[in-house]
């Protein structure tokens, strides 16, 4: 799946500088013209990482820090600040506001690419880990790990046939409900019971 990189406030020309490298890595680059456009893109597109500048036109970098805090409050998407602003205070405030990384615009494009790939890798692992947590079912001492198709009771592995596993998982997912043999059959085999 192609990953989308959103660039906002392209004052440093980072989109033009990085686009060939990002495209070469199979990444897509979207550029937001203004703050409204940024929010529209975030609502309509699946964005995997943002590159932003803390300096917002004539408003100074303190407004950019507010923008980063606002973006972070709405999203956990990795956010890297790429700015001509090299003041230590700006870097610290951006990181405290929620930026994941901060580089100056004159950095080596290959270093920035490595930082982007690192953030994407970490974000993808986190998303996958969260998705897998939803696939672990617990009832008292019984644990069903649906990603590994393992069942344990009091920490001891239990061997089940594939059909036994499906029946147990179905009953745990629907715990508290009572099912007839026919209903279990229909849910496991996806066929009408005779």
The predicted model gives 91-98 an average pLDDT of 91
- Split into its structural domains, the chain has a count of 2
Q: For tokens 């198709």, what's the residue?
A: 149
pLDDT tens figures, 98-108: 999 999 988 89
**Residues 173, 155 within the same domain:** yes
Asked whether the predicted pLDDT for residue 129 surpasses 70, the reply is no
Percent of the chain scoring above 90 in pLDDT? 13
Does some domain include residue 26? yes
pLDDT of 79 higher than 90? yes
Structure tokens at 194: 């005779």
Widest CA span in the chain:
75
Question: Would residue 194 count as lying in a domain?
Answer: no
Rounded to the nearest angstrom, the gap between the alpha carbon of residue 18 and the centroid of all alpha carbons in its chain is: 22
Residue 131: per-residue pLDDT: 54
Residue 60 above 70 pLDDT? no
- Check whether residue 81 and residue 173 sit in a common domain: no
The structure tokens 């303190």 sit at 62
Are 17 and 37 within one domain?
A: yes
pLDDT of 1 > 70? The answer is no
Q: Which is more confident, 126 or 17?
A: 17
What's the pLDDT at 161?
81
Q: Which residues pair with 80 in a beta bridge?
A: 51, 101
CATH (domain of 64): 3.40.50.2300
Dihedral, CA atoms, 141, 146, 151, 155, nearest 10 degrees?
-50
Q: Which of 27-31, 127-131, 161-165 has the lowest mean pLDDT?
A: 127-131
Domain extent, residue 171, equals 136-189
Q: Identify the three-state secondary structure at position 87.
A: coil
CATH no. for residue 149? 1.10.10.10
Residue 130 has pLDDT above 60, yes or no: no
Lowest mean pLDDT among 27-31, 37-41, 67-71, 143-147: 143-147
Q: What is the per-residue pLDDT for 134?
A: 61
Tokens describing residue 180: 């007839």
- What's the CA gap between 127 and 144, in Å, rounded? 20
Same domain membership, residue 115 and residue 173: no
90 and 47 housed in the same domain: yes
Residue 48 is given by DSSP the state: -
Q: Same structural domain for residues 15 and 95?
A: yes
- pLDDT score of 111 more than 90: yes
Q: Tell whether 55 and 118 lie within a shared domain.
A: yes
Residue 22 has pLDDT above 70, yes or no: yes
């Amino acid at each position: 799946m192609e990953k989308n990189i959103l660039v906002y406030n392209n004052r440093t020309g980072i989109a033009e500088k990085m686009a060939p490298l990002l495209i070469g890595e199979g990444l897509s680059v979207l550029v937001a013209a203004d703050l409204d456009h940024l929010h529209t893109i975030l609502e309509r597109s699946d964005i995997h990482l943002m590159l932003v500048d803390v300096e917002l036109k004539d408003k100074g970098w303190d407004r950019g820090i507010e923008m980063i805090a606002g973006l972070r409050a709405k999203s956990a998407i990795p956010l890297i600040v790429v700015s001509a602003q090299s003041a230590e205070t700006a870097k610290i405030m951006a990181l405290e506001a929620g930026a994941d990384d901060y580089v100056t615009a004159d950095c080596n494009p290959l270093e920035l690419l490595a930082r982007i790939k690192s953030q994407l890798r970490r974000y993808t692992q986190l998303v996958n880990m969260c998705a897998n947590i939803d696939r672990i079912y617990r009832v008292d001492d019984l644990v069903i790990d649906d990603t590994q198709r393992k069942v344990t009771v009091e920490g001891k592995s239990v061997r089940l046939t594939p059909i036994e596993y499906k029946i147990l998982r179905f009953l745990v997912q629907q715990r508290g409900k009572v099912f007839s043999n026919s209903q279990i059959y229909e849910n496991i085999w996806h066929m009408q019971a005779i």
